Structure formats: C-alpha cells, structure tokens
Structure 1
Amino acid sequence: MRWLAFGPRGDFQCHLTLDESLTVYEFGADYLLAVHADELGVERVVEYELRVPDAAGSSPSQ
C-alpha cells in the first residue's frame, strides 16, 4: 500500500509505502497510527513519525 502526502498548497511532500501487515487507523499531521499483525497473528498498536525528508534526500529513521 502506498500513500502520498501533499502540503497545504498542493505541493508534493513525501510518500509512504506500507507493509500489508499494517492496518491504518489514523493519520495525524505528523504521525500514523496502525495495528501490525506479526506472523503468528499477534497484533500490536504502532505509531510512526511522519516528516518531510531533508534536502539531501535521506529518509528519516523509523
């Protein structure tokens, strides 16, 4: 699953590619809340920080 983020003026900000084991429940201005199911079916809530990559193009760590 792939999501695209755009700024307030419609300019492209970044993209996010999610694993199929995640079920997204909420997007915030700078976070994503989801449920991750592991290979045994055990579920856990995860939160990821969302931010625009720096000008050098390096991606933020998770």
Structure 2
Amino acid sequence: MNIRADEVFETLSLEGVYVESVFLEKCDDGYYLIYFVKAKSLDNMREFSKKLYTTNRAVS
C-alpha cells in the first residue's frame, strides 16, 4: 500500500472516503474483522468500488 500510496489516496478521494480502517480483534471465541468507513455517501462509495473491482478484474 505504501508503494502505491498516490493511487490509494486518489481512489479514496474518488470514492468520497474520509477514513477507512480495518482491525483484527482476537476474542475467546475467535477472530473478528472490524471495518470502519466514513464517507460522503456509503451508497456512492459502494457503487464506485463495484465499478473499480469489475474493471480491475477484467484487466488483470
């Protein structure tokens, strides 16, 4: 991620994302992935992410 930081920040900006954090929480009954996002619009962010994922899969 650090190597391509410019691309990461550009993508977050295009998605309208202010904050994106991921945590791995270990509990007695297993591990939990906690994902936090703050964005202008979660609906717009999801739509942009779907388009980006589809485009990148087609190119790969």
> What interval of TM-score do these two structures reach, taking the shorter chain for normalisation?
under 0.3
CA radius of gyration, larger in: 2
**Which TM-score applies when normalising by structure 1?**
0.25
Normalized per residue, which structure has more helix? 2
- Higher RCO (C-alpha under 8 Å, 6+ residues apart): 2
Q: TM-score, normalised by structure 2?
A: 0.25
Query: Per residue, is there more strand in 1 or in 2?
Result: 1
